[in-house]
Structure 1
Amino acid sequence: MSGDLAGGPLVTVRGVHRSFGSGPTAVHALRDVSFDVTAGTMVALVGRSGSGKTTLLNIVGGLDHPDAGTVVVDGAEVTGLDDDGLSQLRRAKVAYVFQTFGLIPVMTAAENVGVPLRLARMPTAERERRVELLLELVGLADHGEQRPAELSGGQQQRVAIARALAASPRLVIADEPTGQLDAETGLSVMALLRGVVESEGVTVLVSTHDPVMMALADRVMRMHDGQVDP
């Protein structure tokens, strides 16, 4: 599980600042944040609500832009990309898993997983094989024809993880992925994320409040008041 075996950094963050508002009422969400994430590892970002975790994840993934500083993901300087470049980054290199699952209600589990592959115009037969493999990976091989409303919360999050992995991203960003799940289901979802680091060779950056889940990570980064502890 050691990052030493995985190679160099996939993510490099240097001197990132992000504030919301201005003047004395400004909220300084991130203050001079710098760190690396080694390729092929799982890193847990830990801190209280309001510590800056979500803002940091959004900036790493190109959903938000810092006021200062740089972010590089797999050789691409995220902070220097235009809208087209950011769209390409999210299609090819970065995928997201959210607390609220974000599945399309009218689609089956298999169809939800296949959405990124349709966008990538993968041939139908190849797409169907990839979807079948991913549903098997997340333990839902027999649930591909069910819609989100027919699945439990834990099953929906597993579908969301399979969808995130569909296009073989280099980095999966998971923002409180177990926040709406009970402790046992949440732990199984975190164990699944741990497993995909091993089986798919993906890098995972995950925020969490749960200290039990930190044991599954290769590294824990703690945030306080917009800063990452050294």
Structure 2
Amino acid sequence: MNFFQPGSRDASAPTFNGSLIVQVEGVSRDYGSGGRVVHAVRDVSFTAGKGELVAIRGRSGAGKTTLLNLIGGLDRPTSGTVHVAGHDVTAAGEQELLLLRRGTIGFVFQSFGLIPILSAAENVGVPLRLAKVPPAEREERVAMLLEMVGLGAHAAQRPYELSGGQQQRVAVARALANDPQLLIADEPTGQLDSETGRSIMDLLRALVRARGMTALVATHDASLIDMADRVLMLRDGALASPDPALA
């Protein structure tokens, strides 16, 4: 699924036209207290525009997952602000965060996170059930999403009957169920072989272009970096700019 050529890779501010979907300003996240404070994220600022795939690169422990959790409202920063599609994530209450995670933000995780007793179609339909989408509309949308990720013929299969790459495609389809403006993918290829991992990144890039959404993809796989429009490098929780690997 190789519909689009990768864009220029530049760690500076984006030059994309259109609205900014992600605005991160001076975000830090500390854990612990006294002499045992761990600075997981340190004063990170960046923006991401509509229709842009941004790779967040760094070694294990660099702060990638923590940063994505802060942007997705799964954690709160010690300082700084996060805005997603005009919503102040850092100031949002639990109910607003729940609505954001159900409608504005989609998540894809390394471990797939599928419900083993449900079929592929039923897994994709979970967010639509939570949103109380009528059954006929839900079934139509699920079928369309599975076709979109190349799994239309596997709708009735359960996760254990699918390969790792197929399971991750189901997870991508589920993340897209409520048509999010931002897709957050945390090491989505971490459990896949290199060829399958590249096909998943290819799929994400094509979906970003076709649907005009924004994607933040954390990865430490250097072979996948060239598929992003822009690369942000994290070192010890801080943003390194410019990324020397791209010089």
Give, in whole Å, the separation in 1 of the partners of 2:227 and 2:145. Answer: 21
The answer (yes or no) to whether the contact 1:138–1:192 under 8 Å persists in 2 is: yes
- Report 1:173-192 matches (<5 A): 173-192=184-203
Structure 1 runs of 4+ aligned residues shifted over 3 Å read: 1-6
Give, in whole Å, the separation in 1 of the partners of 2:238 and 2:16. Answer: 28
What's the CA shift string for 1:120-157, capped at 9, x where partnerless? 11111111111111101101010000000000000000
In structure 2, list runs of 5 or more residues that go unmatched: 1-6, 9-13, 242-247
Report the AA paired with residue 221 of structure 1.
Answer: L
The answer (yes or no) to whether the contact 1:14–1:33 under 8 Å persists in 2 is: yes
What's the CA shift string for 1:34-82, capped at 9, x where partnerless? 1101111100000011111000000000000001100000000000001
SS at match of 2:76: coil
Give, in whole Å, the separation in 1 of the partners of 2:204 and 2:120. Answer: 18
Q: Percent identity at matched positions?
A: 59
Q: Counterpart in 2 of 1:42? A: 53
Name which structure has the greater RCO, CA cutoff 8 Å, separation 6+.
2
Which residue of 199, 205, 210 maps to 1:194? Answer: 205
- Report 1:161-180 matches (<5 A): 161-180=172-191
TM-score by length of 1: 0.97
Give the 3 Å change call, closer, same or farther, for CA 6–136 of structure 1 in structure 2: farther
- Report 1:70-219 matches (<5 A): 70-219=81-230
SS at match of 1:80: coil
The answer (yes or no) to whether the contact 1:45–1:53 under 8 Å persists in 2 is: yes
Q: Counterpart in 1 of 2:245? A: none
The answer (yes or no) to whether the contact 2:165–2:197 under 8 Å persists in 1 is: yes
Give, in whole Å, the separation in 1 of the partners of 2:36 and 2:91. Answer: 28
Report the AA paired with residue 129 of structure 1.
Answer: E
What's the CA shift string for 1:85-123, capped at 9, x where partnerless? 100110110010000000001100001001111111111
The answer (yes or no) to whether the contact 1:6–1:41 under 8 Å persists in 2 is: no
User: Alpha-carbon deviation of 1:200?
Assistant: 1.6
The answer (yes or no) to whether the contact 1:103–1:160 under 8 Å persists in 2 is: yes
SS at match of 2:195: helix
Give, in whole Å, the separation in 1 of the partners of 2:17 and 2:203. Answer: 19
* RMSD, aligned CA: 1.1
The answer (yes or no) to whether the contact 2:53–2:216 under 8 Å persists in 1 is: yes
In structure 1, list runs of 5 or more residues that go unmatched: none
TM-score by length of 2: 0.91
